[in-house]
Structure 1
């Protein structure tokens, strides 16, 4: 039974862990990847139940090492999907985040790259803006004293530091565009940064949007927060 429990635990964690890479490299589609999450969760629960039965009724067939390894694998397979489900419940079910909800920065060079994406380049609209106001009230237009060229240069450096793919730099229009590819699933999310003059200060707005998916599990808001922190670090040097 020790081998059987260990095998179920291993299968459970593989179903969860490999869902992302298999989708990323076009081996399976997204629906199948998410199905892997579900079955991995169920397999992890089953493994824990079997492990409990083994420890209660067939203790002589178990060892501390094998039981510990099986438990860790099963708990991991359960914890990852449950964590994602919990995150989904606690963030707005949106995937288009902007610091300017009235006039969000528009994608220019990136727009053609999103032509076949399930989520269009256009802003998602009033309903999304209202949900963002509730979920991420801290995301607002930034104000800086630096010149527009300085901020464009700092934005470019921050994007490079974050490892995003630079797509477009237009100093005259005050626009920088980039694409961030997530590590696990390989999702491509696009970012546009807009720098505009406002008398004695410059206004910086950032927009991040997923190409696929309904809820982004808070990823785009986190990306904007990360960019702001990196931009401030660059400007402080």
Structure 2
């Protein structure tokens, strides 16, 4: 009973540290390096406590309700933290270390209104270059522009609706330049990724290009590519 209670409290502390690693950075309690250090060591602790709680349950399985409850809760908390850490580790290993994704690699949509918001960002607003383009071609061949059977302005209206549905911050809607710029703030660490949509009238309707770039970090662990793929898929479904 006593060991199960200690295990439970250690799991609560570890779970809190795991969550606060990101929120502490977002709330300016510490820097990014400290946040990643807290995340790394709390993940190590979670893995160890998951194994310990699983083994402990074998010894307390015939004990009272509280001993079993403390052990099960500890296992569930630490198992969740472990699964989250392993998931993101696998994601990071499965994608190239790039953070700038575009449907048009020959002429990527350029940021305009967002440039002033990236003044202090480690990653500049300019496109990352041919090395990034080649890495994207190999890792994300499905990231391509879409052609929609509608005129430009209605397609832009649908895109604005989707952006609002996602709670992204709209930075600019330029109907003369046929461009929309927006920012998504990620929940945990509060990282900000910027998006620009470019609309081009064609004989078939409207071509939509999209670019998504992280303000910080060498690798986006695949987030920008997923954002573009999901957004353009939803836009296709809404227009058609």
Judge same fold: TM > 0.5, yes or no: yes
For residues 171-210 of structure 1, what are the structure 2 equivalents within 5 Å?
Answer: 171-210=175-214
Structure 2 gaps of 5+ residues are: none
User: Secondary structure of the residue that 2:9 maps to in structure 1?
Assistant: helix
CA drift at 1:52:
5.4
Identify the match of residue 221 of structure 1 among 198, 206, 225: 225
Corresponding residue number in structure 1 for 2:174: 170
| Equivalent pairs, count | 236
> How far apart are the structure 2 equivalents of 1:49 and 1:193?
47
Runs of 4+ off more than 4 Å:
52-62
Structure-2 separation of matches of 1:219 and 1:58? 42
Residue-by-residue CA offset, 1:67-112 (whole Å, 9 max, x unaligned):
1111112212222111110111112211111000110000000011
Contact 1:95/1:215 (<8 A) preserved = yes
What is the alpha-carbon distance in structure 2 between the residues aligned to residue 228 and residue 52 of structure 1?
43
Partner residue in 1 for 2:115: 111
Q: Say whether the 8 Å CA contact 1:177–1:192 is kept in structure 2.
A: yes
Alignment partner of 1:131 out of 131, 135, 143: 135
CA distance in 2, matches of 1:109, 1:123: 15
Aligned residue among 7, 12, 15 for 1:13:
15
The TM-score normalised by the length of structure 2 is 0.90
Cα RMSD over matched residues?
Answer: 2.0
Is 1:121–2:125 an aligned residue pair? yes
The answer on whether the counterparts of 1:210 and 1:216 sit within 8 Å (CA) in structure 2 is yes
> TM-score with structure 1 length normalisation?
0.91
